[in-house]
Structure 1
Amino acid sequence: MDNKTNLKRPTLFKDWFLNNRFTIFLLNILLFFLIIFLFEQISFILNPAWMFFCAILPPLLLALVQYYMMNPIVDFFEQKLKVPRTVTILVLFLLVLGALIWIINSLLPIIQNQVDALIKNWPNIWDTSVKTIQNLLHDPHLKGVKSNINSVIDSIEKTLFKSWQDTGTAALTNISSAVSVITMIFMTLLTAPFVLFYMLKDGHQLNGYLTKFAPRRWQDSFSRLLHDINEAISAYIRGQITVAVWVGIIYAIGYNIIGLPYGSALAVLAAFMLLIPYFGTFIALIPVLIIASITSWGMLINVLIVFAIEQTIETRFISPIIVGNKMKMHPITTILLLIGASAVWGLWGVIFGIPIYAVVKIVVSRSFNYFKSVSRFYNDEDLFEIGKENQTKLDLGDKND
């Protein structure tokens, strides 16, 4: 009978509170939000640190993007050809400087002239496209949708007018802000090359340096965590920029072959908009379709053919070879993430949402795996063995009675 008393099953308090996974999960969430609340209470201390971080962030980001593009080349020459990193870095800097000079002297004037002409003629292009749509609406078969399309056009015109008006007002009333932005751009362009040089020179030692601060038993796991984060960010940045460059080249060739007005400027726009996954391609296609439709129906068909060829080359060859599935994200996850990030942080959320998600995913998954390995709440086999052992003891107690 004493054995029964000592081995009686856990109480409801232990089952539903102390040994319950859901309860422990809720307590962790409560602690997480409590920490956020405490940080909010001491925001006056953190604000200077945040301002300092925002000041150094632009040159760091610019240098980081260039670092991930150049670092594989520096590593290759150092590891395979035994060329000192400093020599390779200086040669790369000279090549980039030469490419920039060539772009500024050759390509930039062409693109600038087309952009200036496009901005100057855009009101006429928009009015012509609106009149074309209204002429099509005179068809008796489209009478039912005429009012809806007209209301959509009016809404777009009002929105665009209000946006331009607000932008102009802000530009005139916030001269100090404009000066600060110009100063930030100048300082970013001035300091980013120096930051990039030292990133390329000593960046490969950062993993080992940061790992030293972790406890000895965690250093291997922490080093792998930093390596996975670095691989995820580098894969995203190199993949997106490389694909964007190739897409811009394909569009530039295609648009100039078919004779599309402002073809080079629209190709550059398509390359930049590709940095926004899924949505960027179709956003960049809107002005192209408008310009092609008011040029001629044949031009519109040619544009659609160029778009189909570009999409085939990009989806069949460029993206699988360069990007692949290194991010390991389902398309639905990507789309929902972009929608949510744009709603919270706007354009910056769209640009940085995916790499931030990839980093958070790696950290959370590794932390959860570690918690599962050390927590008895997820060690189901041990719990099963303990339950079998307790049940055996209870059965032996019954036999003894």
Structure 2
Amino acid sequence: MLKKLWFQVGIGILLAILIIRYFLEIKEIFSPIFIIGKTIFLPLLLGGVLYYMTEPIQRFLENKKFPRWASILTIFAGLIGVVWIFASIIGPPVTHQVNELVKNSPAITAEINEVTNYVLKQKHELPENLEESIDSAAASIQSIAVKFGKWIVQFIQSFLQAMFLLVLVPFFFIFMLKDHEKFAPFIYGFFTGKKQMWVKKTLSDIDNVLRSYIQGQLLISFLLAILLFIGYWAIGLKYALLLAIFGLFMNLIPFIGPWIAVAPAVVIAFVQDPTLVIWVGLITIVAQQIESNLITPNVMGKTLDIHPLTVITVILAAGNIAGFLGIIIAIPTYAVGKAIVKNIYEARREIQKTATKTV
């Protein structure tokens, strides 16, 4: 029984749980490590995203005989130029729409409360089995309306804090561009023989998974944001650019993200003109059909090969554990873990085949 895979996996899980438990009980000793880790995690994450976004450009430049330092300077100059262009073109309208939304948030809240109160007054004319559902929905809407303004303020505060942490991003980004080939050899250099080959292959698979996911998901989200902006602008929806940018970030979350992105657009449309809600719904459906049937198959294909039910389960669990950041990193983390487990399984199967041939 000791040689059975299920038994060894079970023992490994139990040991991991015990290690985590005792580690948490003495977490005061490691609190400085936690603080340092929390401080550098977001800049490291964003630096990694920028690296995977620009690594194809660096590879192209170096194939054209650019030295490493010249390729890095070119990429930085290009990024600064792109940021400057976007800030010049998009910055003023976004700032205006944010200020207008903050200023109008009390009116939006009041409008939602007024509609909710009207529905509650008319509920007695509806069938009795709908009254409880209306009460529950009304309570939820009122809670959202009360918190609407607070959410905007909290979002702006979190954004400013993130901007402060972004000072560290260029440092991680530069070192990734400069020394990224040295990371894998440094890791598998600790091993020899077949173990070294296994570690090397596993690191290569992890790199491919992260590259495919980050590059593909960012491109998909950007294209979806353009589609949403065109649709919202065409129907005259207020805050169209702001809602499209919000949709860009929310669409980084597979499956669930698009439905989160459409929620504020529906609220704004309902307050502005209830008939616009139908148009917002149609725009969302069209954009999602284009994304699922045209953009995603051509951009990402079946790179991750993860079932939609698994994606939803992983996202919900990560959200409960680590909040919004957990939702963002849930799928790539799961994909990395899946690549590691797949390589472990393949190595064990190869060992079993070798043992069978020997016998």
One-letter amino acid of the counterpart of residue 106, structure 1: I
Of stretches 43-52 and 332-341 in structure 1, the one that deviates more from structure 2 is: 43-52
What's the CA shift for 1:83? 2.2
1:64 to 19, 44, 48: 48
Q: Does 1:94 align with 2:77?
A: yes
Cα deviation 1:182-228 (Å, max 9, x = unaligned): 67743x32232132122112212322232212233322211111010
Name 1:50's counterpart in structure 2.
Answer: 34
Counterparts in 2 of 1:201 and 1:130: CA distance versus 1, 3 Å:
same
What's the CA shift for 1:34? 3.9
* Distance across 2 between alignment mates of 1:41 and 1:139: 53
What's the CA shift for 1:23? 4.5
Q: Does 1:288 align with 2:265?
A: yes
* Distance across 1 between alignment mates of 2:5 and 2:67: 54
- The residue correspondences of 1:118-137 to structure 2 (distance < 5 A) are 118-132=101-115, 135=118
Of stretches 192-201 and 22-31 in structure 1, the one that deviates more from structure 2 is: 22-31
1:194 to 154, 160, 171: 171
Name 2:233's counterpart in structure 1.
Answer: 256
* Distance across 1 between alignment mates of 2:305 and 2:340: 15
* Distance across 2 between alignment mates of 1:154 and 1:278: 27
- Scaled by the length of structure 1, the TM-score of the pair is 0.78
CA contact (8 A) 1:132 1:294 kept: no
Cα deviation 1:258-279 (Å, max 9, x = unaligned): 2111111111111111122212
What's the CA shift for 1:65? 0.8
Counterparts in 2 of 1:22 and 1:100: CA distance versus 1, 3 Å:
closer
CA contact (8 A) 1:256 1:263 kept: yes
Name 2:315's counterpart in structure 1.
Answer: 338
Name 1:10's counterpart in structure 2.
Answer: none
**Count of aligned pairs between the two proteins:** 356
Name 1:311's counterpart in structure 2.
Answer: 288
What's the CA shift for 1:254? 1.7
- The residue correspondences of 1:68-79 to structure 2 (distance < 5 A) are 68-79=52-63
* Distance across 1 between alignment mates of 2:280 and 2:20: 51
2:96 to 105, 113, 128: 113
Counterparts in 2 of 1:214 and 1:250: CA distance versus 1, 3 Å:
same
Q: Does 1:208 align with 2:185?
A: yes
* Distance across 1 between alignment mates of 2:133 and 2:181: 59
> 3-state SS of the aligned residue for 1:149?
helix
> 3-state SS of the aligned residue for 1:346?
helix
Report the RMSD for the aligned CA atoms in angstroms.
3.3
> 3-state SS of the aligned residue for 1:329?
coil
2:250 to 273, 276, 294: 273
* Distance across 2 between alignment mates of 1:132 and 1:183: 36
What's the CA shift for 1:69? 0.1
One-letter amino acid of the counterpart of residue 98, structure 1: G
* Distance across 2 between alignment mates of 1:345 and 1:141: 44
Counterparts in 2 of 1:370 and 1:46: CA distance versus 1, 3 Å:
farther
> 3-state SS of the aligned residue for 2:84?
helix
One-letter amino acid of the counterpart of residue 92, structure 1: I
CA contact (8 A) 2:266 2:277 kept: yes
Cα deviation 1:338-368 (Å, max 9, x = unaligned): 1111122221221111111111112222223
1:353 to 311, 316, 330: 330
Counterparts in 2 of 1:328 and 1:57: CA distance versus 1, 3 Å:
same
What's the CA shift for 1:105? 2.5
- The residue correspondences of 1:2-17 to structure 2 (distance < 5 A) are 17=1
CA contact (8 A) 2:116 2:138 kept: no
Name 2:279's counterpart in structure 1.
Answer: 302
Give 5+ residue unaligned stretches, structure 1: 1-16, 172-177, 387-401
CA contact (8 A) 1:241 1:275 kept: yes
CA contact (8 A) 2:123 2:134 kept: no
One-letter amino acid of the counterpart of residue 31, structure 1: L
Name 1:175's counterpart in structure 2.
Answer: none
2:302 to 325, 330, 339: 325
One-letter amino acid of the counterpart of residue 32, structure 1: A
Name 2:146's counterpart in structure 1.
Answer: 161
> 3-state SS of the aligned residue for 1:351?
helix
* Distance across 1 between alignment mates of 2:65 and 2:332: 33
Name 2:137's counterpart in structure 1.
Answer: 152
* Distance across 1 between alignment mates of 2:247 and 2:67: 38
Cα deviation 1:352-396 (Å, max 9, x = unaligned): 1111111111222222333344469x96x57xx97xxxxxxxxxx
Q: Quote the sequence identity (%).
A: 30
Counterparts in 2 of 1:255 and 1:215: CA distance versus 1, 3 Å:
same
- Higher alpha-carbon Rg: 1
What's the CA shift for 1:250? 1.4
Give 5+ residue unaligned stretches, structure 2: none
What's the CA shift for 1:19? 5.9
Relative CO higher for 1 or 2, CA cutoff 8 Å, sep ≥ 6? 1
